[in-house]
Structure 1
Amino acid sequence: VEEAQESKSKAERFLDAFANFYTPAIVVLSVIVYVWTRDLHLAITFLVIACPGALVIGAPVSNVAGIGNGAKYGVLVKGGEVMDRFSKVDTLVFDKTGTLTKGKPEVTDIHILGAIDRSELLRLTAVAERISEHHLGQTIVKYAHQQGLEMSVAPKDAEVIKGHGLKATVDGHRLVAGNRKLMAQSGIPIDEATESYAIAREKTGNTVVFAAIDGTLAGLFSIADQIREDAPQALAEMRRNGIKQIIMLTGDNRHTAQAVAEQLGLDAFHAELLPEDKVCFVKQLQADGAVVAMAGDGINDAPAIATADIGLAMGEGGTDISMETADVVLMADKLMQFSHAYSLSKATMRNMKQNIAIAVGVVLFLLAGVLMGSVHLASGMFIHEASILAVILNAMRLIGFNRKSNAAPR
């Protein structure tokens, strides 16, 4: 949080640059006032009250208060610049597994093809999947543990094919586990009846993992993941706060992706994507003029998170690389925290503009008063210090900001 508070927004950088010119200019103008009027008291009054104290402090104090509020509600915003960019986002892009869904899938069915024993297929697949960091692979491993299967043997010649699955040799058998594309690439045919079964499972929201042994399809694992309970409300809130479109990009199959998209009322979805495909979609949205926030939790999401204008990561169940790459991290995996962060970013930028307006208005008022002779050193200093307290107190309202009551400072 301390490092984030040191990161400056565009407004802060502009004000710093402005002060570099403004302050020397006031010193010069004060000298000119003295030379012109020979009134030392007037010149000193002009010098003191024209100093941009409230103007320079107004933006940083809003930034600090906003980031502090985010931390209190379990959202780490990595700096004032991030807060500034986040407030301008109009397009949200989500990964599916672990982001829109809970990321805690379970094996719902194992469909056996041929003469292989169910437990043996599960054991061989689980041994191979131990090298995978993907949610689906780890779900199979977890299920095998629950069934009490022995998996002490290590896979050999293991190869993870990003976005598709993996290959490995287990107990002398060459095992291939993954999606349809991996089966096709490996020359493993899927007959019409098996394909129909897989599609039927996918339409009910299951993800199907195909498993082949020694070049022959041996079985299908149906894995289901539940949509997060707070997802519909969170997405609805973000739409009300200015999000124009919500899109899902996933490496999962089209049927499962469509089922999730329909339940959540998403504007669009794209399925069976590789990590580089997600990056291309994000770049295309940016080229079309959208300000894009990408939310994900896995290694496959990291390139798209880095490409987007704002990267969002699930902190509790996410991978280290996704959290390191992201600009905003949820310390608990709750999508309502995204909604809070988005509302907070808008409130922070609005508060910052209010502080700048207060500071500029007070300076102009005091300068006019000095030149007209109605404001003197004591009264001018009192108003000057009061304006600094005013911007601090205004920024402190952000500490109590709570999206539930829609209490955005205005």
Structure 2
Amino acid sequence: MVAYNFLGAAITYALTRSVTRALLFLLVDISCVLKISTPIVVMTAMRQMGDQQVLIKGGRFVEEFAQADTFVFDKTGTLTTTRPLVMDVLTFGGFSREEVIRYAACLEEHYYHPIGHAVVEQADRENIPHDEMHGELTYIVSHGIQSEIDGKRTVIGSRHFVIEDEGVPITAEQEAVIAEQAQRYNLLYFSIDQQLAGVFCIDAPLRPNARQVMDTLRAQGKHLVMLTGISRPVPGNWPPNWALRKCTVRSSLKTSTFCAAATATGPPGGHGGRRHQRQRSPARCRHCRGDG
């Protein structure tokens, strides 16, 4: 094709003896090529991004990408993996690590929640059996689970639920140990017979290429914003030099709407006097289904 273009320019020059007309022949042809090549390049870019599991809504966004000065990332499942892991287990009151994991896993296996699922996976990973040993379960939305083990009241869930609502005492020494981990991980509290037995330190690992992407964008002078539903400053494995503006997202149980507030450390504590929403156990664990 290129050979014919130059041949046409040569014929034009031979007939007209005009360099300008010969160059115009090439210019007209190249402009046509550019008109065809531009959408092809955009479509190729969108296809390649699709291969990387990145969805682009249209070619206009590819062309305007260079003008974007702010990038907003969801944390869980975007910057981090979708499967949280138990990074550590703090034990108190003379309970062993194995006991805490066994009791917690036998409660959490009834409900699918990423945090609870991480506890069950940890029990399986450490080959800790967690057969049925509890009474009737009560699930309290956004708080946790309460039941009985050997006739003793057992609860697992958020700090607000276990420490404040259930009134489980916590010593200054325990508070100091927990506070150190609270800066790095999501914490899941577990108590039995009104005694704090353990705290699970849970986090979602960063995706392997997340740091490279963030560093590249920062080097280009882009502003980075992270959306998250947690109030702790940074995840446990967060690079210390990442200057991310954090936007904490909270949802209302009544309206199911979302509001966001850009903050340094997240929203103030407490749950605004929300009424507990209780739900009886649907008995969906492998034991209740009779398949394990």
2:154 to 175, 198, 208: 175
1:111 to 90, 93, 113: 90
When normalised by structure 1's length, the TM-score is 0.44
1:143 to 122, 128, 147: 122
Q: Distance in 2 between matches of 1:226 and 1:200?
A: 19
Equivalent residue number for residue 71 of structure 1: 50
Q: Distance in 1 between matches of 2:154 and 2:136?
A: 10
Q: Distance in 2 between matches of 1:228 and 1:136?
A: 18
Equivalent residue number for residue 107 of structure 2: 128
Change (3 A) 1:167 1:84: farther
Change (3 A) 1:175 1:240: same
Equivalent residue number for residue 265 of structure 1: 242
Change (3 A) 1:126 1:85: farther
For 2:199, give the aligned amino acid. L
2:178 to 198, 206, 216: 198
2:73 to 90, 94, 97: 94
Change (3 A) 1:94 1:69: closer
Q: Distance in 1 between matches of 2:251 and 2:180?
A: 27
1:248 to 226, 233, 239: 226
Q: Percent identity of the aligned residues? A: 26
When normalised by structure 2's length, the TM-score is 0.59
Q: Distance in 2 between matches of 1:195 and 1:111?
A: 11
Change (3 A) 1:252 1:220: same
Query: 1:109·1:222 contact (CA, 8 Å) conserved in 2?
Result: yes
- 1:287-366 pair list within 5 angstroms: none
Question: Structure 1: which 5+ runs fail to align?
Answer: 1-52, 286-410
Higher share of residues assigned helix: 1
Question: Structure 2: which 5+ runs fail to align?
Answer: 1-31, 264-292
Change (3 A) 1:72 1:229: closer
Change (3 A) 1:225 1:70: closer
Q: Distance in 1 between matches of 2:239 and 2:50?
A: 33
Higher share of residues assigned strand: 2
Give the paired residue count.
Answer: 226
Q: Does 1:208 align with 2:184?
A: no
1:221 to 200, 203, 224: 200
Change (3 A) 1:63 1:241: same
Q: Does 1:159 align with 2:135?
A: no
C-alpha RMSD of matched pairs (Å): 4.0
CA deviation profile, 1:330-389 (whole Å, cap 9, x unmatched): xxxxxxxxxxxxxxxxxxxxxxxxxxxxxxxxxxxxxxxxxxxxxxxxxxxxxxxxxxxx
Q: Secondary structure at the match of 1:187?
A: coil
Q: Distance in 1 between matches of 2:46 and 2:54?
A: 8
Change (3 A) 1:116 1:267: closer
Instruction: State the shift of 1:98 in Å.
Output: 4.1
Equivalent residue number for residue 342 of structure 1: none
For 2:146, give the aligned amino acid. A
With CA pairs under 8 Å and 6+ residues apart, which has the higher RCO, 1 or 2?
Answer: 1
Query: 2:185·2:236 contact (CA, 8 Å) conserved in 1?
Result: no
Q: Distance in 1 between matches of 2:116 and 2:54?
A: 29
Q: Secondary structure at the match of 2:168?
A: coil
Instruction: State the shift of 1:231 in Å.
Output: 2.2
